[in-house]
Amino acid sequence: MRIAILLTSLLTACAIVQAKTPDQLRDEFIAEMVGKYGFSKEEVTRTLYQAQLRRPILEAISRPAEKTLNWTAYRNIFLTPSRIQGGVDYWRQHAAALERAEQTFGVPPQIIVAILGVETRYGANTGGYRVLDALHTLGFHYPKRGAFFREQLSHFLRFAREEDIPATSPTGSYAGAMGVPQFMPDSFRVYAIDFDADGRRDIWLSPEDVIGSVANYFVKKGGWKRGAPVAQPIQGVTSKHQRLVDAGARPSLSASELAAAGLAIDPPTPEGAKLSLLDFDTDDGTEYWVGMDNFYAIMRYNPRTKYAMAVYQLSEAIRELHAQQQAARAPGAG
């Protein structure tokens, strides 16, 4: 026992000795930016010197998570009359860009709009922290995920150089997510596009760039399939089907496998489609859905099934209300 305690103490001591200080991590970061990406040491040092350690960011990311919401409570956050009407209004205001995005990428307007509704209420709440402060704070003062945020900081400085903007200007969430669609810096560099052809990729103030970038993300990162369904409810699922639920949210099942288990999909899914069986805990029991490739594409934006279902159901509510209001405005209506 004494030997075990001694070994534990030695290992703990070694870990303490090996832990790097923020200054050491910063020096390594600067050397990497100089050696790998061609920045000057003075340039990176000057930029980091302008970054501020923000304690509220550390408090926000370290705060114990709220109790897990069931699907009923989670759904009620996003499927509200104001958010649905807000989506219809956004669609109407930017109809041309949304139509062009659908033609170019195959992603329907309601899906793009719903993502923006869930993420930032259509740009009303994009976050008030300087991205430089957020990534600097978390990269050098949050050991639990410091490596991830230092990598994002590296992407962010390269993004600022590529876009020719001051690194002190962009704002975003406490975790460094940027603009109306809340792209992390690595996602911005890969998936953001100049959809309004003004020579810049602006996901803060250009609705066209926002819309095009989200659509591009869905296709390039998510593998969105043009014209394919997203999800549909399914009945008859019992505890004996748990192994199918446990197969996960990534589509790996076939319609024939579900049929062999006594589960009928109505309407039938496209020939050869891969499926997932999803469960959602509600106030009235468990609700089951079949997810398709496009449901998983939404999950590439955020990997939680409740998030993806909220986006999908919000998109459907927006689509239905948009159609109703368009019909009411049509000549001769009423």
At 59, the amino acid letter reads: E
Residues with a catalytic annotation lie at 119
Q: How far apart are CA 142 and CA 130, in angstroms?
A: 17
Alpha carbons 50 and 226: distance in angstroms, whole number: 45
- Using CA atoms, how far apart are residues 315 and 230, in angstroms rounded to an integer? 11
| Pairwise CA distance, residues 127 & 119, whole Å | 11
Alpha-carbon dihedral of residues 214, 217, 223, 226, nearest 10 degrees?
30
Identify whether 267 is preceded by a cis peptide bond (ω within 30 of 0).
yes
Q: Which of 191, 236, 233, 238 is nearest to 210 (CA)?
A: 191
Helix or strand run (H / E) with residue 155: helix 146-163
d(CA 222, CA 187): 12
What's the rounded Cα separation, in Å, for the pair 148 and 1? 38
74: nearest Cα among 295, 280, 296 = 280
172 neighbors 178 (Cβ within 8 angstroms): yes
Radius of gyration for the alpha carbons in the chain, expressed in angstroms and rounded? 23
Q: Compute the distance between CA of residue 253 and CA of residue 274 in angstroms, rounded to an integer.
A: 5
User: Distance between terminal CA atoms of the chain?
Assistant: 85
The type of residue at 272 is G
Count the Cβ atoms, other than its own, within 10 Å of residue 234: 19
